[in-house]
Amino acid sequence: MHHEFEAQKTFDNLKHSLQTSPTIRTLKQIKSIQSYMSSLLFFRNNIIPMGDDIIYKVCSIMEYEHFYPNQYICKIGEPGDKFYIILKGIVKILVNSPQDDTEEYEANRLSEGASFGEYSLLHNQPRIASIQCLTDTELVVLTKNHYLNILGKIEAKRVDEQVKFLRRFTIFAKWSKNLIIKVNYFLKEKTLPRKSIIFREGDKANEIIFIKSGELEICKSVRTPTQKKVCYLRYFPPQQNADVAILGPGETVGEELMYSDKHLYTCKVYSYTATIMVMDKDEFFKRVRNEDSQNALISANEVREKVRNMRVKSLIMLKNKNYQDVEEKNNASFERLKTRKRQSVSVKSPVVTPTKKVSRYKVLNHVDIQNIVSRSKIDILSPVANQVFNIKKQKSKSPFGGRVYDKVSEKHYLWPIKIEQKKIYDRAKAFMIRRQSSESEFNISGYRV
């Protein structure tokens, strides 16, 4: 918001300075005019290169004019007496139809920073186009005398250079100076950055392009003859872009509109920036009525097409060769893999004869079992003993006292194993056996087997 307010304030100061009579205009006002005008296209390209003296003179004599929508600034056939630079607004250029001189149609549009009106002043001829406002339009004006005295020679030189430049193109080579100057009204100048797409292959061909500066790249999509799988995860894409040509100043793009409704190539900016002049297809056919010019353009385009087609074919052959090399390389690797696989399959495994399984445990006989049992200890009075032995007990009275206890009368394994056993009947015998046996092998309440 603040920025817009400051911009409007600056523009109001500019208008006040321009509306002040040149005879009483102050140095401060001239500096403010110079500061603002330096940002406009016409000033940057034509006035500033002339030096500070010319800039000061032009800014000290400029005047301000304002027009409303649909109002004519000038009309065809009127004498030219002013040169205009647009500060704000949009205007359209109206010219006579080639078929009917009484009918006017829109040839181009101009906006902020553009200029018009120099042709009538330089050649002292009536206006060749009408200028009508599409919006509120504010302009700075130089009278004919001031324009010719200060800018006349330089502007005449600029126009001559423009005519000379356009004659570099085949289509304008044999045109007169006046015709080229008139055609210049129908050329729309554009400046584009690198990699900007101007048109794509297959787009409708509705304009022809003349390269003023920079370089453009022409690309065409080419299709490989096969889409065979060349490796496990990669496929050749169905189509690839081939760089056909790099075009520079003085060359034309889009000539195929002479015989085709669609563009045959993709065109994009190759250099850092490029300045092109564009003419509408309908306007091109209206202005280029000379059959010699059309034939010359067609002939030149045919030669370029032959060269481009040859380049495309060579690129396709090169891509095919690279494809075949890659395919052969991959096929060779596949063959090696197959050979290795066959070799690994052809190796026969040795015949294994089944043998009797040998246990790492010793086969136990009756003696081994008796030895194991003899080293075991089982509590006869425990519940576990009843699961192993068949035990018969009877009541017995101790000889040393009146205590009654159970005496084992018979015991044998429930398993089919026969063993000998010793029985303890009295306390003295038990102590005698204890003295003869180690403590680890004897248990009074147990039975050793």
Residue 126 CB partners (closer than 8 Å, separation 6+): 76, 77, 78, 79, 80, 120
Whole-number Å distance between alpha carbons of 169 and 356: 102
Residue type, 200: R
Q: What is the pTM of this model?
A: 0.56
Mean pLDDT on 215-219: 87
* Token pair recorded at residue 356: 């009797």
Mean pLDDT on 320-325: 54
- Mean pLDDT of the chain, nearest integer: 73
- Residue 291 binned pLDDT confidence (cut-offs 50, 70, 90): very low
How distant, in Å, are the alpha carbons of 79, 203, 258 from that of 244? 50, 18, 20
| Residue 156 pLDDT > 50 | yes
Whole-number Å distance between alpha carbons of 62 and 37: 11
Q: What is the pLDDT of residue 232?
A: 41
103-135 pLDDT, tens digit each: 788 888 899 989 998 888 888 889 988 999 999
- Residue 408 binned pLDDT confidence (cut-offs 50, 70, 90): low
| Residue 15 pLDDT > 80 | yes
Strand blocks (E) in 335-403: 377-378, 389-397
Strand blocks (E) in 77-181: 82-88, 91-96, 104-110, 115-116, 130-133, 137-143
The residue that leads in pLDDT, 370 or 27, is 27
- Residue 336 binned pLDDT confidence (cut-offs 50, 70, 90): low
Q: What is the pLDDT of residue 138?
A: 94
How distant, in Å, are the alpha carbons of 15, 61, 87, 139 from that of 113? 16, 18, 6, 10
* Token pair recorded at residue 291: 């059959």
| Residue 403 pLDDT > 80 | no
Do 207 and 279 touch, CB atoms closer than 8 A?
yes
- Residue 315 binned pLDDT confidence (cut-offs 50, 70, 90): low
CB environment 413-431: b (16+ within 10 A), e (fewer): eeeeeeeeeeeeeeeeeee
All structural domains of the chain: 1-166 (2.60.120.10), 186-335 (2.60.120.10), 373-448 (no CATH)
- Residue 161 binned pLDDT confidence (cut-offs 50, 70, 90): confident
| Residue 43 pLDDT > 70 | yes
